[in-house]
């Protein structure tokens, strides 16, 4: 018998999101988001675009977590390094304070709100 799987937490979901981005797994990354959240379609497109155009290195450090009535309000320091696959010399580094709301939906922790969404914008290729 294998080890029991640790229960999912907001922290484990954000860790998996960061890992999925770094491993070029758009489906895994988008799974962290609630499909009914505002801006979901854009997030889905942006994640697919940055993974298609770049090699992603992502790190999410949670700096604050406040829980009220089952909702987690998180402040995170999010680092992204995006290196164009077509030009390995072109790298964009981003570091932003991102506010995230998470709640359990059907027993799974999901991101229900995130500001700013621009952390996931694709690189503007000129």
pLDDT tens per residue, range 33-43: 999 999 999 99
Non-local (6+) Cβ contacts of 113 within 8 A are 37, 38, 99, 100, 101
* β-pair partners for 84: 54
- Please indicate, yes or no, if residue 51 is contained in any of the structural domains: yes
Check if the beta carbon of residue 25 is closer than 8 Å to that of residue 7: no
Range in 1-10, 14-23, 72-81 the model is least confident about:
1-10
**What CATH code is carried by the domain that includes residue 66?**
3.10.450.50
User: Does 20 fall in a domain?
Assistant: yes
Q: Which pLDDT score, from 0 to 100, does residue 126 have?
A: 64
pTM for the model stands at 0.91
Residue 28 DSSP SS3: helix
> How high is the mean pLDDT of the chain?
93
Cα dihedral 34→81→23→113 (10° resolution): -10
Instruction: Count how many domains the chain has.
Output: 1
- Residue pLDDT, tens place only, 93-121: 999 999 999 999 999 999 999 999 999 99
**Domain for residue 102, yes or no?**
yes
pLDDT of residue 53: 93
Any domain includes 72: yes
Give the pair of three-digit tokens for residue 46: 């942006």
**DSSP string covering 81-124, please?**
EEEESS-TT-EEEEEEEEEEEEEEETTEEEEEEEE-GGGGPPP-
According to the model, what pLDDT value does residue 5 have?
A: 67
For the segment 9-17, the average pLDDT, to the nearest whole number, is 97
Which domain, by its residues, includes 51? 10-120
- For residue 43, tell me if it sits in a domain: yes
pLDDT at 89 over 60: yes
Residue 4 lies in a domain: no
Half-sphere exposure of residue 24: CA atoms within 13 angstroms, side-chain side: 9
Q: Is residue 105 part of a domain?
A: yes
Report if residue 126 sits inside a domain.
Answer: no
């Amino acid at each position: 018998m294998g080890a029991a799987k640790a229960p999912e937490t907001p922290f484990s979901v954000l860790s998996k999101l960061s890992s999925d981005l770094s491993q070029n797994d758009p489906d895994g990354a988008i799974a962290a988001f609630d499909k009914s959240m505002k801006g979901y379609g854009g997030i889905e497109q942006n994640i697919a675009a940055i993974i298609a155009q770049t090699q992603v290195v992502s790190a999410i450090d949670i700096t604050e977590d406040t829980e009220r009535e089952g909702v987690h309000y998180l402040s995170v320091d999010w680092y992204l390094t995006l290196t164009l696959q077509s030009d390995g010399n072109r790298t964009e580094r981003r570091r932003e304070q991102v506010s995230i709301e998470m709640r359990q939906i059907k027993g799974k922790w999901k991101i229900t709100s995130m500001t700013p969404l621009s952390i996931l914008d694709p690189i503007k290729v000129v």
